Amino acid sequence: MLKSKGSVGEFIYQAVCFTIAGLFALVCLYPLLYTFFVSLVSKAEWTDSNGLVMFLPRHPTFAAYVRIFKTNTYILTSLWVSVLKTLLRTVGGAVVAAILGYVLSRQKLPGKKLLTGVVVFTIFFGAGLIPNYMVVQELNLVNTIWSLIVPCLLNTWYALIFKQFFAALPSEVEESAYLDGTTELQMLWKIILPMSKPIFASISLFIMVDSWNSWFDAMIYIDVVHSDLWPLQYYVSLTFNNLTQVDQGTAGDWQEIVGTSGDVPDIAVRMALTIISLLPVLVAYPFFQKYFVKGVYMGAIK
């Protein structure tokens, strides 16, 4: 497999690189597979094997998934909340970041320096948990779905990545178009936007993952009474029962799903929930991998 032209040292080095990289890839992959395997395990098999199910169970069953969707409707509500907030945050966030990034990238725009100063300042000097909570409270957003969307709509990092991208576009095209009488808006619409599909893809995907994965905002902004606004990730975190002791104590209805009765072990239900909550990201990832990587490159080159 490895054709070493050089010395033994060369071969050993290649072998080491090859092995370690491969091992690390397995380390990344296996826990994921393990989670999936456990979600398929039946109660009988789990007891028999003393919890040592390391590969696909002998008698895989989707009973855990069925139970999740049949016990109550919370899962559907929370899925809907997650999808809705992800959609709104992605569209809104990408547009807002693009506007700010585009304006910051215009070298000749009067006021650009002031604006850049403000943006950079807000990156390095932020407020903490409590002031942010109070602002959301003052705006009467607490316990509404907007509390999960509006406060994080503007991400100045993403705006700066947009800025990098727009600033790197060849300015000759724009200048000559401008001299031909094209207005800036037409230029944005007809020249810039068609060229910037990759960056929009990258940033939208980043925001999408961010917002699909966020749960902490739900924990602080949405109380038990409004549990129909809890997104999936927060719901999953609650079934692990660690934080319920600090979060007003009552997540009983949610716990119902991982009750003790039934033909599936608790752990299988929990892992099934985990798989449901990570599935969208996992399914989307292979298609968009190159955009994610590109996004990092663009953010890195400053």
Partner 1 sequence: MREAAEILPRGEREAGRKLPQRDGGSFVFVKGLVFLLAGLIIFCILFFADILVKEDSGLGISVGVSGLTLIIGMAKGFSFTGVAQGIGEVAFEVPVLPCVLILAGIVLSLAAAAAGAADLFMRRSVRKNAFFSFGVSIYFIVLTVLLISPLPIRAEDFFQNEVLFYQQFHLSGPVFVVILLSALTGAFQLGISEKNYANLKRYAPFYGMLIIPAVLIVLFCIYPIFLQTVMSFKDYRLATGIWGSTWVGFDHFVTMFRDGEIVYVLWNTVYISLLKIVVSILFPLILAIMLFDISGKLSGYRKVVQTLIYIPHFFSWVVVYAIAYAFLNNEGVINSLLAQLGIAEKSFLTSERYFITIQLVTFGWKEIGWGTIIYYAALMSIDGTLFDAAKVDGAGPLKRLWHITVPSILSVIVFMSVLSLGNVLKTAGGEQLLLFYNVPVRKKALVIDTWLYFRGLSDLEYGLGSAMSFFQSFIGILLVLGCNWFSKKFTDRAIW
- Interacting residues with partner 1 between 58 and 87 (CB under 8 A): none
Site string for partner 1, 146-185 (x = CB under 8 A): ----xx-xx-x--x------------------xx-x-xxx
**Closer Cβ to partner 1, 179 or 260, answer by number:** 179
- Give the single-character DSSP code of 215: -
**Closer Cβ to partner 1, 29 or 195, answer by number:** 29
Say how far residue 278 (Cα) sits from the centre of its chain.
Answer: 10
- Interacting residues with partner 1 between 185 and 204 (CB under 8 A): 185
Give residue for tokens 């016990």: 71
Query: Phi and psi (nearest 5°) for 49?
Result: -90, 5
| DSSP string for residues in 147-207 | GGTGGGS--HHHHHHHHHHHHHS-HHHHHHHHHTT--HHHHIIIIIHHHTHHHHHHHHHHH
User: Which of 96, 142, 167, 191 is the binder for partner 1 (CB under 8 A)?
Assistant: 96
Instruction: Give the nearest distance from C-beta 167 to partner 1 in angstroms.
Output: 15
- Hey, what amino acid is at 68? I
- Give yes or no for residue 249 binding partner 1 (CB under 8 A): no
- Give yes or no for residue 296 binding partner 1 (CB under 8 A): yes
- Give yes or no for residue 17 binding partner 1 (CB under 8 A): yes
- Give the single-character DSSP code of 210: H
User: Which of 83, 84, 167, 267 is the binder for partner 1 (CB under 8 A)?
Assistant: 267
Binding footprint of partner 1, residue count (CB under 8 A):
106
Q: Which of 294, 92, 105 is nearest to 192 (CA)?
A: 105
Window of 56-64, 96-104, 162-170, 191-199 that interacts with partner 1 by CB under 8 A: 96-104
Q: Which of 50, 48, 68 is nearest to 59 (CA)?
A: 48
Instruction: Give the nearest distance from C-beta 260 to partner 1 in angstroms.
Output: 14
Instruction: Give the nearest distance from C-beta 180 to partner 1 in angstroms.
Output: 8
- Interacting residues with partner 1 between 218 and 247 (CB under 8 A): 220, 233-234, 236-237, 240, 242-243, 245-246
User: Which of 58, 80, 131, 157 is the binder for partner 1 (CB under 8 A)?
Assistant: 131
Instruction: Give the nearest distance from C-beta 20 to partner 1 in angstroms.
Output: 6
Instruction: Give the nearest distance from C-beta 271 to partner 1 in angstroms.
Output: 6
Instruction: Give the nearest distance from C-beta 175 to partner 1 in angstroms.
Output: 10
- Interacting residues with partner 1 between 19 and 58 (CB under 8 A): 20-22, 24-25, 27-29, 31-32, 34-35, 38, 49-54
Q: Which of 162, 118, 143 is nearest to 220 (CA)?
A: 143
Please name the residues in contact with 88: beta carbons below 8 A apart, sequence gap of 6 or more.
Answer: 149
- Interacting residues with partner 1 between 272 and 291 (CB under 8 A): 273-274, 277-278, 281-282, 285-286, 289
* ∠ Cα 194 102 87 (to 5°): 70
- Give the single-character DSSP code of 146: G
Between CA 95 and CA 89 the distance in angstroms is 10
Instruction: Give the nearest distance from C-beta 79 to partner 1 in angstroms.
Output: 15
Handedness of CA 3, 6, 9, 10 (dihedral sign): negative
Q: Which of 109, 193, 203, 188 is nearest to 154 (CA)?
A: 203
Instruction: Give the nearest distance from C-beta 113 to partner 1 in angstroms.
Output: 9
Handedness of CA 176, 182, 187, 189 (dihedral sign): negative
